[in-house]
Chains A and B, each alone.
Chain A
């Protein structure tokens, strides 16, 4: 290329072409950086290979040479900035209205200060630019460099806010603005807020030292998180958990840390105290629990030591209440934490599982029991079996049943009730024998002895009743045949839905139930229940296998008749309740129907009305037609109505009047 008089070397030609290219693209004069921007990679490489200086310096020198050759013209803008125009370009090339980076950054700082109303950090300036000038090609690094440069030239004032001492906590203010009016008063940075949370918790704990008479616990990461989210609700979205941990680590590092990290290698937990707090001012590490899971484990262990067996939620809660070291920090309840702690956790990517330090042992009356001794689960199960046995014994109300035996007026029924109670006690005694060893080993001898004594005492009474009555019963009835009869056989159980159906025609509260299982609360133990032999799971779709307990149909009908029946129904029900006790096998009642005393036959008919089983209907029909006593025939007719158990029949039976 020639300029008319001289030939340009390749690098000069490249730069000149770039200048003209810039003119044609933007229509304005170019600064050095604008020319550099027009160079492609090969041209840049060539220039760098040719000259040793930096590219901007080389291009600037080439511009000077081109000007000397008369090929370009120089125009000067504010602050000595040079813009170049090719002499071959049209005459309407303007100087670009672009201030220097420094001026740009200064203007950004001024805008940020105006927005925040105070001195700002470099980060805040960059955030401001990023939010508002997304099209600008100005990097964070450039902003920071120019801010530092502006501070050095006193275009900006640099303010170190005392008492904070954080790195990066330097504020900048344009020259000319008064410091006092622009010093930042609030914590404008999450790091500072997190530090303040630690400070707040620590101060709160330290203030209770005199009251609690114990050294304060160090602050855990979870507590910091809770405090932060509570104090600054926006932190929930803006500050992730990992950032909190990183912030805490940051605050505890460096030459002038704000926090001190306390590691507990045993529990693999980390906690924090303000820097400068000595170990002698903090609670010992064995009291420091890093997570709610650890606290739950310790509370479970303490409860187990106290009760000497697996424990339930309430028992764990009593250990937590009032114990600052074990206070739960999360919003989850103890029940949820226990359940979670008892689940095995995944420890590797292949799905290998490790059991946590609490194990679920079993349940009694719907209450779950846990143990912290996960190695000896067999022992824990046996101890729970003992608790279950005690609960079953109490539920059986054997003593009341024995008292009820004497209330029956018929020797045969008294004998039957005694026999039934005796067999129930035998079952308890068998279970008790299997648990003797574990109770002796686990220092539960006292409780075992008391239960054994009570069971033995009740067994003695039942046995003596049975024997006392044997002779008088044998005189009238076939004792051998009666001894073979399984007395509790024939008990019919009703699931909650069926129970509600029976009660609804009579009990207004039952009609208002929205969920059928709430019948349990409504009846509140007034009607006897027994374990459902078909029970599988509470969550089973089949209601007959989902119900853990069934209502005794006989007890339910008696209850209904007493509460809502007419006089006759009530009398029949009271008689049946008195005579039957827990006998449910109608075969035991049939011999009474042959008694010459009509009052005995009346009682037998009343009993049959509330039982279920083969032969009852036909027997009652026969009685209602053939018995010589009119009242017995009437009672049998009434009983037939009840036998079918249909709600409409029940209503008719209970409302029937003479």
Chain B
């Protein structure tokens, strides 16, 4: 039996350029400003707004700037939490930090040692490796107990004279979780809410992301329309812009007709995906009743958010 193979073209690998928006730069400064003797802070905002990117860029910059002979120099550590439910959450949170540090936690120690001692060992490791900032990403997924474990880590570091700043990053109900616990809330020295990009930020990001947009004139009508279109469909969220750019680039590379890119081209890229989403949702709605219920609640939430924006 002969099977015809599909024509597959490998996409060109791309090195992402990071665009540091004004807000991201501001977040970085505000974070460093609270880090004197160690502190705790929060990054919140919608998914895709740039919280994780900011944290990673701060870590990268610290690493690039680090010099051993500079006693003030330090490093950062970014870790992404998975779900930690209730039940021994403090130790499990610390175990996640161990794993992110590249340190194997002996199961014997995990069982035997209390969380304060595990925290003290971590602090010793941080001290040896000059890590002073810890970004706890997706902190919205972890239980209040696990958050308490991280607070213990911060307090033990302070007690042992090591300045450790912990930044909780997340969306969900993170803000409420943190506010509800006075032990945590009163230790939080900075809250940074990441807003959606405005049009200027969107244009700046697009210019960094793709040479086509770098060459597009925002003062020209067509150019501005294209920028506005992208800003609208992505809601000003970098997390939405990047996948759109990837889809755009793939089609852009295959384009051979020599015509100029119009907003229609961009619309085509967007609506192809949107149509698929709609059809998928319809299928869920009609075949799986839960899907209908969930989809309705999602629609409700989305419309509520849009109203709030307005």
Q: Which residue of A lies closest to B104 (CB)?
A: A578
B104 adjacent to A635 (CB under 8 Å):
no
B128 adjacent to A635 (CB under 8 Å):
yes
B68 adjacent to A628 (CB under 8 Å):
yes
Residues from chain B with a CB closer than 8 A to the CB of A325 are none
Q: How far is the CA of A629 from the CA of B121 in the complex (A)?
A: 20
A602 adjacent to B128 (CB under 8 Å):
yes
A interface, size bucket: 20 to 34
Q: Does B251 contact A (CB under 8 A)?
A: no
Q: Which residue of B lies closest to A603 (CB)?
A: B102
A631 adjacent to B104 (CB under 8 Å):
no
Using an 8 Å CB-CB cutoff, how does the interface string of A605-644 with B read, 1 for contact, 0 for none?
Answer: 0000000000000000000000011111001000000000
Knowing A567-B124, A568-B124, A570-B121 touch, does A599 contact B129 (C-beta < 8 A)?
Answer: yes
Residues from chain B with a CB closer than 8 A to the CB of A570 are 109, 121
Residues of chain A in range 558-608 having any CB-CB distance to chain B below 8 Å: 562, 567-568, 570-571, 574-575, 577-578, 598-599, 602
A602 adjacent to B124 (CB under 8 Å):
no
Residues from chain A with a CB closer than 8 A to the CB of B130 are 631
Q: How far is the CA of A460 from the CA of B92 in the complex (A)?
A: 35
Q: Which residue of B lies closest to A627 (CB)?
A: B68
A574 adjacent to B128 (CB under 8 Å):
no
Residues from chain A with a CB closer than 8 A to the CB of B109 are 562, 570
Q: Does B12 contact A (CB under 8 A)?
A: no
Chain B proximity of A400: nearest CB distance (Å): 13
Q: Does A407 contact B (CB under 8 A)?
A: yes
A574 adjacent to B68 (CB under 8 Å):
no
Residues of chain B in range 59-85 having any CB-CB distance to chain A below 8 Å: 68-69, 71
Residue from the list A567, A568, A598, A635 in contact with B68, Cβ < 8 A: A598
Residues from chain B with a CB closer than 8 A to the CB of A568 are 124, 128
Q: Does B120 contact A (CB under 8 A)?
A: yes
Tally of contact residues, B, Cβ under 8 A: 17
Residues from chain B with a CB closer than 8 A to the CB of A409 are 102
Chain B proximity of A205: nearest CB distance (Å): 56
Residues of chain B in range 69-112 having any CB-CB distance to chain A below 8 Å: 69, 71, 102-104, 106, 108-109
Q: How far is the CA of A602 from the CA of B101 in the complex (A)?
A: 14
Q: Does B125 contact A (CB under 8 A)?
A: yes
Q: How far is the CA of A515 from the CA of B191 in the complex (A)?
A: 64
Chain A proximity of B71: nearest CB distance (Å): 8
Residues from chain A with a CB closer than 8 A to the CB of B128 are 568, 571, 602, 631, 635
Chain A proximity of B8: nearest CB distance (Å): 25
Q: Which residue of A lies closest to B102 (CB)?
A: A409
A628 adjacent to B125 (CB under 8 Å):
no
B68 adjacent to A575 (CB under 8 Å):
no
B120 adjacent to A567 (CB under 8 Å):
yes
Chain B proximity of A26: nearest CB distance (Å): 101
Residues of chain B in range 136-188 having any CB-CB distance to chain A below 8 Å: none
Chain B proximity of A119: nearest CB distance (Å): 81
Residues from chain A with a CB closer than 8 A to the CB of B103 are 571, 574-575, 578
Q: How far is the CA of A553 from the CA of B225 in the complex (A)?
A: 72
Q: How far is the CA of A497 from the CA of B64 in the complex (A)?
A: 51
Chain A proximity of B231: nearest CB distance (Å): 41
Residues from chain A with a CB closer than 8 A to the CB of B120 are 567
Q: How far is the CA of A568 from the CA of B109 in the complex (A)?
A: 14
Residues from chain B with a CB closer than 8 A to the CB of A567 are 120-121, 124
Q: Which residue of B lies closest to A575 (CB)?
A: B103
Residues from chain A with a CB closer than 8 A to the CB of B106 are 562, 574
B68 adjacent to A629 (CB under 8 Å):
yes
Residues from chain A with a CB closer than 8 A to the CB of B102 are 409
Chain A proximity of B163: nearest CB distance (Å): 15
Chain B proximity of A575: nearest CB distance (Å): 7
Q: How far is the CA of A629 from the CA of B71 in the complex (A)?
A: 9
Q: How far is the CA of A110 from the CA of B306 in the complex (A)?
A: 132
Residues from chain B with a CB closer than 8 A to the CB of A578 are 103-104
Chain A proximity of B78: nearest CB distance (Å): 16
B121 adjacent to A407 (CB under 8 Å):
no
Residues from chain A with a CB closer than 8 A to the CB of B71 are 630
A628 adjacent to B124 (CB under 8 Å):
no
A628 adjacent to B69 (CB under 8 Å):
yes
Using an 8 Å CB-CB cutoff, how does the interface string of B265-307 with A read, 1 for contact, 0 for none?
Answer: 0000000000000000000000000000000000000000000
Using an 8 Å CB-CB cutoff, how does the interface string of B117-138 with A read, 1 for contact, 0 for none?
Answer: 0001100110111100000000
> Which of B69, B102, B108, B120 counts the most chain A CB atoms within 10 A?
B102
> Which of A409, A571, A602, A632 counts the most chain B CB atoms within 10 A?
A571
Chain A proximity of B232: nearest CB distance (Å): 45
Q: Which residue of A lies closest to B98 (CB)?
A: A574
Q: How far is the CA of A407 from the CA of B129 in the complex (A)?
A: 18
Q: How far is the CA of A602 from the CA of B128 in the complex (A)?
A: 8
Residue from the list B104, B108, B125 in contact with A407, Cβ < 8 A: B104
B104 adjacent to A571 (CB under 8 Å):
no
Residues from chain B with a CB closer than 8 A to the CB of A571 are 103, 121, 124-125, 128
Knowing A562-B106, A567-B120 touch, does A602 contact B129 (C-beta < 8 A)?
Answer: yes
Q: How far is the CA of A632 from the CA of B124 in the complex (A)?
A: 14
Listed A/B pairs (28) with beta-carbon separation below 8 Å = A407-B104, A562-B106, A562-B108, A562-B109, A567-B120, A567-B121, A567-B124, A568-B124, A570-B109, A570-B121, A571-B103, A571-B124, A574-B106, A577-B104, A578-B103, A598-B68, A599-B129, A628-B68, A628-B69, A629-B68, A630-B68, A630-B71, A631-B127, A631-B128, A631-B129, A631-B130, A632-B68, A635-B128
* Shortest 5 CB-CB contacts between residues of A and residues of B: A629-B68, A567-B124, A628-B68, A409-B102, A631-B128
